Amino acid sequence: MYKAGKSVACRTMVLIYLKGPAEGVKIGFAVGKRIGGAVVRNKVKRRLREAVTPLLPEMVPGCRLIFVARSPIAEVTYRDLENNVRRLLDKAGLIG
pLDDT digits (tens, 9 = 90+) for 26-51: 999 999 999 999 999 999 999 999 99
Residue 45 domain-assigned (yes or no): yes
Residue 1 domain-assigned (yes or no): no
Domain containing residue 78: 6-92
Q: What span, in angstroms and rounded, lies between the C-alpha atoms of 78 and 22?
A: 31
| Closest to 78 measured CA to CA, from 39, 38, 49, 35 | 49
Residue 53 has a pLDDT of 95
Residue 23: band (very low, low, confident or very high) from pLDDT cuts 50, 70, 90: confident
**CATH number where 34 lies:** 3.30.230.10
Residue 23 domain-assigned (yes or no): yes
Residue 72 domain-assigned (yes or no): yes
Is the whole-model pTM more than 0.85?
A: yes
Structurally, how many domains does the chain consist of?
1
Contacts of 68 (CB under 8 A, 6+ apart): 13, 14, 15, 16, 30
Average pLDDT score over residue span 3-11: 91
Residue 76 has a pLDDT of 95
